[in-house]
Structure 1
Amino acid sequence: MTYQAIMFDIDGTLTNSQPVYTTVMRAVLKEFGRDFSDDDAQLTFPMAAEQALAHLGIEADEVDRFQVRYEAVMADHFTDIKLFPGIETMMAQLPSDVKLGIVTSQRRNEMDTVMAPHAPVMAHMDVTIGADDTPKRKPDPLPLLTALKRVNVTPENALFVGDSLSDEKTAAAANVDFGLAGWGMDPNASHQTVAHHFEHPADIAALYH
């Protein structure tokens, strides 16, 4: 099937952000008197922020303070976040009439800052939905459905590409085919509802050739 729209997650799908996430989380958690192991990083990276902080033992009344510190430290590392190899080429190879977009759990200011150095990729985007653009976040289907509504494409004619179980659940709840980004996938996740398992970004463009 050739899709009329493809929506993308950012972290672990477009950008190889886990190394920077690990560095920043380790620094901020140290301020809160907590350690952050490589296993913690692997486990919490695909999670929504609230879920990750709860898993790490950050109390509810500490979450806002933690988020402020996290965003402040991350601001010094945004330029260290790189696209996965092949992303920019893949975007350029997709047909011009395919609607492209981003659906992410990042807040809009973070999304805009992370993707600012990657103008050639962002130039292809017809819609971007961040965590503060809808009242509910992934894995609720609302962000993905909102993006598709804005580009006037029905769910059955769309593909959502992501790397996590949360992305898979989002696609399933929205009745959208899910494409697993194998280059960034969580190795501990047990994916069940996958229409396409992409080993390289070029595999996405190959759907149209």
Structure 2
Amino acid sequence: MTYRALIFDIDGTLTNSQPAYARVMREVLAGYGKPFTDADAQTTFPMSAEQAMAHLGIAADDFDKFQASYEAVMAHHYTDITLYDGIDDLFSQLPNDLKIGIVTSQRHNEIDAGMAQYAIMDRMSVVIGADDTPKRKPDPLPLLTALEKLNVAPSDALFVGDSLSDEQTAAAAKVDFGLAVWGMDPNADHQITAYRFDNPLDILRVF
């Protein structure tokens, strides 16, 4: 299969952000008088903010306050987030004519703060964040929006992510899914995967 577009999730796929996420969430949840355990971190890390709030028992109508608190605390922890080993090497070897993009549940202010320092962003032809579409992953709209902007059919794209939400997004959009095993939730039961990539450089075998 020859793909014309390669789309990535960010957290748990391009960046090792779970340790920073856990530290930030503990501080945010302390403001609600709630504990945040290692098990909570593992469970909620791949979730959207709305899903995490529901899991943690925070009211949906508190979303703006919760998100603002999260972003304010995270602003002090972006330097704790790093690219996974092999990501830079992967991007240096991908075909020059391949269209590359990002589809994430992060907002653009988070993307800009956390990713602007990395040279891989120069290769991105499209970046779709949570504030670009009215629905978030696992709804297919963000991924389909990215592909529409690239003028690439779903059948000609590969979406690489680490979570069940990413897998469900790809399936709903009828896009092949590549599982980033290096960042995946070890308790997740992935069923609809075209590829399982043990490390980033494994992606090169498809291209």
Tell me which interval the TM-score lies in, with the shorter structure as reference length.
Answer: over 0.9
Contact 2:170–2:176 (8 Å) recurs in 1:
yes
- Identity percentage of aligned residues: 67
Alignment of structure 1 residues 143-154 onto 2, 5 Å: 143-154=142-153
Query: Equivalences for 1:1-209 in 2 at 5 Å?
Result: 1-118=1-118, 120-208=119-207
Q: Deviations over 1:13-63 (max 9, x none)?
A: 000000000000001111110100000000000111001011101123433
Q: Deviations over 1:150-206 (max 9, x none)?
A: 111110010000000000000001100000000000111110000000001001112
Give the match's secondary structure for 1:126.
strand
Give the Å deviation of 1:64: 2.1
In structure 1, the residue corresponding to 2:123 is in which secondary structure? Answer: coil
2:87–2:200 Cα contact (<8 Å) kept: yes
Taking the aligned partners of 1:126 and 1:62, their CA distance within structure 2 comes to 34
Task: Tell me if the contact between 1:165 and 1:191 (Cα under 8 Å) persists in the aligned partners.
Answer: yes
Contact kept? 2:180, 2:198, Cα under 8 Å: yes
Whether the 8 Å CA contact 2:182–2:198 is kept in 1: the answer is yes
2:182 partner SS: coil
RMSD: 0.9
Structure 1 residue ranges (4+ consecutive) displaced by more than 4 angstroms after TM superposition: none
Runs of 5+ in structure 1 lacking a partner?
Answer: none
- Provide the C-alpha distance between the structure 1 equivalents of 2:146 and 2:32, rounded to a whole number of angstroms: 37
Unmatched runs of 5 consecutive residues or more in structure 2: none
Partner Cα distance (2:197, 2:132) in 1: 28
Instruction: Indicate conservation of the 8 Å contact 2:126/2:150, yes or no.
Output: yes
> In the alignment, is the contact (CA less than 8 A) between 1:5 and 1:158 conserved in 2?
yes
| TM-score of the aligned structures, taking structure 1 as reference length | 0.97
Give the number of equivalent residue pairs.
Answer: 207
**Preserved contact between residue 50 and residue 60 of structure 2 (Cα < 8 Å):** no
Asked if structure 2 preserves the Cα contact closer than 8 Å seen for 1:79 and 1:117, the reply is no
TM-score by length of 2: 0.98
d(CA) in 2 for partners of 1:60, 1:50: 7
Secondary structure (helix, strand or coil) at the match of 1:183 reads helix
The CA distance in 1 between the partners of 2:204 and 2:41, in whole Å, is 31
> Which residue identity lines up with residue 29 of structure 1 in the other structure?
L
